[in-house]
């Protein structure tokens, strides 16, 4: 009995080895596509790049949109703009004449007046800011307009 069993197992083992050899010798089905592998890889790379670019562009778009919305939501007082258009020029002339640093050369406020004059020049066309500076000049430096 034991001899019969060992013979059977040998046969099975031989069969398995034969099948394995046959499998190794036979060409696998996948190898048919090996000559197209370059194109497959290329198309895969292109697809990946498109997906990555699309995501990056989308994120850029959302960033643009955020900036755009911030800019859109800025409050603009158009009545102040009208005041700037019509009154700022006159007020600037008055302020630049009366707060000119040359008028305060030997004064103790000379440095501060230079700063004030710079501020006036920077806000040449901003009527509300010029009004504030006028108030400051009259209170701080006793300048009469």
Partner 1 sequence: MWYKLIELADWFGEMKERYQLVRDFNKAGKHAFISGIAPTLIEAKITRGDSNYRHEFSKFFGGGFRIKALSGKALSRSEIIELGRVILDNKSLVRKLVALGWDTLEVHDDTGYNGCKWPLKDHANLGGYLS
By CB under 8 A, how many residues form the interface with partner 1? 21
Chain positions 1 to 60 lying near partner 1, rule: CB under 8 A, are: none
Rounded to whole angstroms, the Cα distance separating 118 from 124 reads 10
* Shortest spacing between CB 20 and partner 1, in angstroms: 55
Q: Is 71 helix (H, G, I), strand (E, B) or coil?
A: helix
* Shortest spacing between CB 119 and partner 1, in angstroms: 14
How far apart, in Å, are the Cα atoms of 85 and each of 17, 96, 126?
98, 18, 9
Q: How many CB atoms lie within 10 A of CB 123?
A: 18
61 binds partner 1 (CB under 8 A): no
Residue whose entry in the numeric block shows the structure tokens 């108030």: 135
Q: Which residue of 67, 94, 100, 118 would you call a contact of partner 1, by CB under 8 A?
A: 67
Q: Which residues bind partner 1 (CB under 8 A)?
A: 67-68, 71-72, 74-76, 78-79, 81-89, 124-126
């Amino acid at each position: 009995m034991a001899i019969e069993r060992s013979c059977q197992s040998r046969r099975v083992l031989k069969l398995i080895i034969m099948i394995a050899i046959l499998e190794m010798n036979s060409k696998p089905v996948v190898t048919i596509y090996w000559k197209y592998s370059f194109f497959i890889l290329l198309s895969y790379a292109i697809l990946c790049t498109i997906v990555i670019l699309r995501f990056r562009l989308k994120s850029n778009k959302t960033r643009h949109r955020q900036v755009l919305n911030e800019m859109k939501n800025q409050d603009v007082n158009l009545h102040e703009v009208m005041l700037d258009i019509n009154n700022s020029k006159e007020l600037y002339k008055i302020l630049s004449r009366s707060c000119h640093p040359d008028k305060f050369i030997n004064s103790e406020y000379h440095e501060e007046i230079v700063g004030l004059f710079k501020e006036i020049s920077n806000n040449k066309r901003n009527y509300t800011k010029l009004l504030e500076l006028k108030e400051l000049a009259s209170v701080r430096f006793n300048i009469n307009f």
